[in-house]
Amino acid sequence: MRFDLSKSWRDRAAAVIPGGAHAQAKADSEYPQFSPGFIVRGEGCRVWDLDGNEFIEFSSGNRSVSLGHAFPPIVDAVIAELAKGVNFTRPMPIEVIAAEELLDAVPMSDMVKFCKNGSDATSAAVRLARAATGRDVIAYCQDHPFFSFDDWFVTTTSLCRGIPAEVNRWSRPFRFNDIASLNQVFTDHPGDVAAVILEPARHDEPQPGFLDQVRDLCDRHGAVLIFDELITGFRWHRGGGQSVYGVRPDLSCWGKCMANGFSVSALSGTRDLMRLGGTADSPPKVFLLSTTHGAEPHALAAAIATMRFYREHPVIETLTEQGQRLRDGCDAAIRSHGLERHVEIIGRPCCLSYITRDAAGEPSPLMRAIFLQETIRRGILASSLVVNYSHRDADIDAAIDAIDGTLAVYRQAIDSDPSRFLIGAPPQPIYRRS
């Protein structure tokens, strides 16, 4: 397997794109040197790079592709809509249809506003909460890695240059499944917490009663509860984590799987909050979301087709079943190589990831790079182990075989000098401070 074209294009990209990519998760800093630099096409669960190498992909477009790459029903819907034009001076009927489809899937919301990425939605939710409450402090879950590229969140990371220092005082962390830590934020900032934002679940499930306690704290203190459903939405359930755990947030943020990778996200919520971003004169209107491309009809066509496919086919059940098959096979391979202390499969079956640890049992970027390198060498592209609807049994079994071979190398690396097994320098973790 060679990556000669990828290398030359990496040099071209570095000259014209800061970091060489438009999303941190796709950047070279996240991958070992021995890896495909650019993907040119995908079909189902498979992708091909510039050099013609074929991979079974398991990161599923950074968790945004739940049905499969170039999935025919979605592509057909997009092509049909593109033929009508892409942007007009006034709204199109498809905007209403898409809103009705989303609200049908998410019965805990009353109104919705579309945008283009997750940061649009989460930051609009934060602004709306501040406007509605007249408060400033945002309590965010520090165990959830990324909420927005806007100041209110990036100020909490190590990459906060360019953000006024005083911004940080308004973003306060708490821990997932630790209601006392959230209660402490309310205690430290009496009457000034505008909102609490968290994912309803991540790698860890919420402990029984935790989300209910968060809801209760918000109600008692008059704060807005925001669920970031960018990942849980349309993976855990059509209606997201809130439908699984039975807790209604005031505002919800959607994207990724909602349109099978097409660029559309959404903020939904209760009518009394969302109408503040409308045209009502009383109370005063909030400048909520206004985007030229937020309701691009081809993206909304993808969202409608995706949501309807979910309604008519067992997507969630298939993601869960295939994810469990993958987890069982990986766990068996880990045990067979005696690596239980060093490699761990984590997360819900529909959204698996892994932790790589060194000989001392500590999380290790070097060992992660070796794992990635060796799976790539065996035809698997897996920055995570997230399945999509197009993964068949044979694809899962091929991945398990590849991971078994990878773990044999991992075992050797643990037992000797790991640096001897990696081509180039290991990627380094970025940005998180708290």
**Matching CATH number, 4-70+314-421, of 3.90.1150.10, 3.30.43.10, 3.40.47.10, 3.40.190.10:** 3.90.1150.10
The pTM assigned to this predicted structure is 0.93
Q: What is the DSSP string of 200-250?
A: S-SSSPPPTTHHHHHHHHHHHHTPEEEEE-TTTBTTTBTTHHHHHHT---S
Burial of 358 from C-beta contacts in 10 A (0-12 / 13-18 / 19+) = middle
* Cβ atoms 136, 194 nearer than 8 A: yes
pLDDT value of position 161: 83
Output 175-184 pairs: Cβ under 8 A, ≥24 positions apart. Answer: 175/141, 175/142, 175/143, 176/141, 176/143, 176/144, 176/202, 176/204, 176/206, 176/210, 177/204, 177/206, 177/207, 177/210, 179/210, 179/213, 179/214, 179/217, 182/139, 182/214, 182/217, 183/217
**Helix/strand/coil for 36:** coil
pLDDT value of position 281: 59
Domain 87-295 has CATH 3.40.640.10: yes
Sorted by sequence, the CB contacts under 8 Å of residue 45 that are 6+ apart come out as 56, 57, 58, 60, 68, 69, 387, 388, 390, 391, 392, 395
pLDDT value of position 388: 97
pLDDT value of position 84: 95
What six digits make up the tokens of 419? Answer: 């640096």
Q: pLDDT tens per residue, the chain (434 residues)?
A: 899 998 888 889 888 988 888 777 777 778 888 999 999 999 999 999 999 999 999 988 889 999 999 999 999 999 999 999 998 989 999 999 999 999 999 999 999 999 999 999 999 999 999 999 999 999 999 999 888 888 888 888 877 888 888 888 899 999 999 999 999 999 999 999 999 999 999 999 999 999 999 999 999 999 999 999 999 999 999 999 999 999 999 999 999 999 999 999 999 999 999 998 886 555 677 878 778 888 899 999 999 999 999 999 999 999 999 999 999 999 999 999 999 999 999 999 999 999 999 999 999 999 999 999 999 999 999 999 999 999 999 999 999 999 999 999 999 999 999 999 999 887 776 655 54
Q: Residue 318 and residue 272: Cα distance in Å, rounded?
A: 37
DSSP code for 55: E
CB atoms within 10 A of CB 42: 19
What six digits make up the tokens of 1? Answer: 């397997």
pLDDT value of position 402: 98
Phi, psi of 81 (to 5 degrees): -75, -35
List the helix and strand counts (H, then E) for the chain.
14, 13
Q: Residue 389 and residue 332: Cα distance in Å, rounded?
A: 23
Phi, psi of 430 (to 5 degrees): -125, 155
pLDDT value of position 33: 87
Selection from 172, 164, 234 nearest residue 198 by Cα: 172
CB atoms within 10 A of CB 340: 10
* Cβ atoms 211, 236 nearer than 8 A: no
pLDDT value of position 67: 98
Domain layout of the chain by residue ranges: 4-70+314-421, 87-295
